[in-house]
Amino acid sequence: MADSAPGGDDSKGKNAVAQPSTVGTIMSRHVVTVTMDDTLAKARELFAKFRLHRLLVVQQKLLVGIISDRDLLKAISPNVGTTSETERDHATLNKRMHFLMSRNPVTVRPDTSIEAAARVLLEKGVSCLPVVGEQGDLLGIVTWRDMLKAALPARASAA
C-alpha cells in the first residue's frame, strides 16, 4: 500500500509552514539598554518596570556589555529597601554599570542561522545573544525562548 502513516511528514506538502531560519527573523528589536555610566539604581528600576532578565550596555549605539538580573541582585545589598537599610547599603545603588557588566558579550549577526546560534548558546553557557551589525551596532537580542519557539511547529488555526 502506498498510504502514508498517520502523522506522517507533510513538510513538503501544501500545508507546510516555512520555519524561520535566521536570527534576524526571530530576534527582538525592542531592546532596553543602559550606558556604562548609568547606576545600578537605574538598572534595578528598568528590570522591575519591564520585567527583564538582562540589560544591554551600549556606548554610542555600540554594544559594550551585558548585565543580568542575577548580577544586579549580587551587587546590591540585601538590606536595600528594608528597615535594616543603612547608608552603606543604599550606596550600592550608586555603583556604575561599567563596574558590574560583563564585557565583550558573545554576539551573533542577523544572518546567523538559528541552529548555529543555538549551538553558541549551549557551547558558551549563555541564555541570550545580542545581535549586532558589521560595526558592532546593536540590532536586537535573541534568547533561548525565541529559538525554542522558532523550532516548534506553528499551531494550526482552529477550523
CB-CB neighbours of 101 under 10 Å = 20
The full set of domains in the chain, from first to last, is 23-151 (3.10.580.10)
Q: Output the pLDDT for position 151.
A: 85
Q: What cell numbers appear for 129 in the block?
A: 545573544
- How far lies 61's CA from each of 36, 50, 105, in Å? 12, 20, 15
**119 or 10: which carries more pLDDT confidence?**
119
- The yes-or-no verdict on residue 105 having pLDDT over 50 is yes
25-81 pLDDT tens trace:
999 999 999 999 999 999 999 999 999 999 999 999 899 999 999 999 898 888 888
Residue 18 pLDDT? 64
pLDDT for 155: 62
> What pLDDT, in 10s, does the model give residues 87-104?
887 888 899 999 999 999
